[in-house]
A and B are shown apart, each in its own frame.
Chain A
Amino acid sequence: MRNILIIARRDLRAQFNSPVAYVVIGGTMLLLGLIIFILPHMSVGGVSVGGFWAIDRASMDQMFVCLPPLLSLLVIPAVTMRSLAAEKGSGTLELLITMPVRDSEVIIGKYLAACGVVVVLLAGTLLYPIAMFWGHWGIGWNLGALDWGPVWAGYLGCLFFSLAAVGVGMMLSSLTENDVVAFFMTTGALFLLYAVGLLVSLFQGSWTAVVEFISFESRFQSFARGMIDTRAIVYFLSVATLCLLVSFRSLESRKWS
């Protein structure tokens, strides 16, 4: 347990010691702001985005439409590529693993650190609803009362979604020694896992059920609508666990190569 925390702390510090974490978090915040507040209302593949001012409702729905794709395509791949792939590539893993630590402690520690970065980002995005709907900022201005219930549900969804997605990223990161490869594999995998839900209408019959079962998007939907879906939580946690087990095996397999 102690080792897990030591490894997680080191990894977290390493993430924030490099510009990558700042660029990714800053970039995501910026993109999120642009999409929510600047983009005019439009409809992409049946999903409506943008038009925050036009909708004329006190709602942060938009954020939860945009956050999961941004997390999948940018943040999580960038964070997890460094956890294992980069360490394997540079050889630092050898020094870490020959310390008296269990392989599982290495995996879990690194997983926690990667989740930590995502949590920091999620906390950062709280600025948007706070700025828009809370307090008066000395100018006697805000957009009125926001129903915070759905916002918290959305964040909870993002959190569990991220736990699963970081797991996927860790797993793919453990399978290669090249961080760029790990980045794109993770982007691709998470894109598929997410986007397959948007295409659900294209599938027929029993396939619809399968797709809805796998898809992160379908699972995330209820959170975005303000409901806490325990089945989705169980699903996300199972995905995370499975991925961590695979990462653990893959780390162990170095011994036999």
Chain B
Amino acid sequence: MSNDVMIYASDLSKTFGSFRALDKINFEVKRGEIVGFLGPNGAGKSTTMRILTCFISPTGGTARVNGHDVFDDSLAVRESLGYLPQRAPLYLEMSVLEYLRFAADLRHLDAQTFRKRARSVVEVCGLAQVLGKEIRHLSHGYRQRVGLAQALIHDPPILVLDEPTSDLDPNEKAEFLDYLKQIGKERTVMLSTHNLAEVEASCARAIIISSGRIVADGPLDEIRAKSGRVRYVVSIQESAGDGAYRGRGPLPKKSEVEDALGKVGGVKKLGELPTDDRAHAFEVVSEQEVDLRPEIFRLVADKGWVMLELHRDAQTLEDVFRSLTIGDERRNRRLGPQPEVEDDEDDEDEESDGDRPGAAGGDAAEVAAKDQRS
């Protein structure tokens, strides 16, 4: 059962006038998966979701939801979906309860099922306090909760949520993501977001889309490994202050440390980190395969310096996201036979403005995007 494809998109394209909002994107989402849909502003996340929910039609390609084609069988598609559009556009003059009842009516829930479901979604979305209030008087976060509640009211097998947590407070956000994880075992959830921590917390898989194209798709670990670099942070004592210096020989100078670290084999990049005057701190970036920690330790010990800190950071998802999507904005999305803009120069900009190293440019983006798990 767990291998059913619930959302299937094949060569999906959408153009607005001469603007290419989606450019042949392909992906599948199976039952029991929670997929984070990531991408910079204007990447085409909402457009994809609107196609999947039959609000707009694709210009090319096919999409199937729960086995039904979004074009030929859109009623069946919409029956199996719960959808929260971006910014939760609700009828402001209705009260929360009225709205939920309206949604349930259109989903043809009977009164008893409605009561049961309403109780559960009201609890999950934390709406008990505001049930009788008109939506126009609610704060944005609460409106979003109502939007979530209406998407969940009929307990749909597939949930498509466009930035469902953007206005929620941290408590509600955590609770909601927990709930998603819990119901997500049997259902299919596709949620778009800009918050990468959230993806790490709730999704096992991410699809990263940029300028209308998928640049990465797969389990988070795999995506994280994609940029293929690791960062180490090293700090060496610079002055002992009032206490006794425990090292051998004189206190090291910054240039000394920098030179020595630079000579360690496998170091790709070395940068200074800001510290007080008690320590020299550096970050060292290397390829992923080699572990530099033994080398660094040996070096420091041999020199007789005092090591205050040595740790290794895996690439954060954020780094990967940046490396996959930065520079892509300038990609030409006009239709017609204009030449593609070369991406090379973009890499330069980004290395100098990026405060985190390891954000490699276009090459990472080319380590493309197939779901390799199957």
Residues of A within 8 A of B (CB): 2-3, 6-7, 10, 13-14, 17-18, 90-92, 94-95, 97-102, 254-257
Contacts and interface: CB of A to CB of B under 8 A. Distances in A.
Interface of B: 16, 50, 53-57, 75, 78-79, 81, 83, 85, 87, 89-94, 102-103, 105-108, 147, 150
A99 B85 CA distance: 12
Contacts of A255: 55-57
A23 to B, nearest CB: 15
A95 B16 contact: no
A94 B85 CA distance: 7
B102 A98 contact: no
B53 A101 contact: no
A97 B106 CA distance: 11
A2 B56 contact: no
Contacts of B93: 14, 17-18
Given A99-B78, A100-B78, A100-B79, A94 B105 contact: no
13 contacts: A14-B91, A14-B94, A17-B94, A91-B87, A91-B89, A94-B55, A95-B85, A97-B55, A98-B85, A99-B103, A100-B106, A255-B56, A256-B56
Contact of A98 (B53, B57, B87, B91): B53
Given A17-B93, A255-B55, 14 more contacts: A7-B106, A10-B91, A10-B102, A14-B93, A91-B87, A91-B89, A94-B89, A95-B83, A97-B55, A98-B53, A100-B106, A100-B107, A102-B75, A256-B56
Nearest to A89: B89
A59 B85 CA distance: 56
A6 B105 contact: yes
A84 to B, nearest CB: 14
Contact of A91 (B16, B54, B85, B107): B85
Which of A7, A10, A18, A91 counts the most B-chain CB atoms under 10 A from its CB? Answer: A10
B242 to A, nearest CB: 64
A17 B136 CA distance: 12
A101 B93 CA distance: 21
Given A100-B106, A254-B56, A257-B56, A95 B78 contact: no
Nearest to A105: B106
B75 to A, nearest CB: 5
A99 B56 CA distance: 13
A98 B151 CA distance: 11
Contacts of A14: 91, 93-94
Contact of A3 (B54, B81, B106, B150): B106
A35 to B, nearest CB: 32
A100 B108 CA distance: 10
A92 B56 contact: no
A2 B147 CA distance: 23
Contacts of B108: 2
A89 to B, nearest CB: 10
Contacts of A100: 75, 78-79, 106-107
A187 B147 CA distance: 35
A98 B55 contact: yes
Contact of A99 (B16, B50, B106): B106
A99 B57 CA distance: 16
B57 A256 contact: yes
B106 A95 contact: no
A98 B89 contact: no
Contacts of A6: 102, 105-106
Nearest to A6: B105
A91 B83 CA distance: 14
Nearest to A5: B105
B81 to A, nearest CB: 7
B16 A98 contact: no
B16 A257 contact: yes
Nearest to A2: B108
- Give the 10 A-B residue pairs with the shortest CB-CB distance, closest first: A91-B89, A255-B57, A100-B78, A100-B79, A98-B53, A17-B93, A99-B106, A6-B105, A92-B89, A98-B83
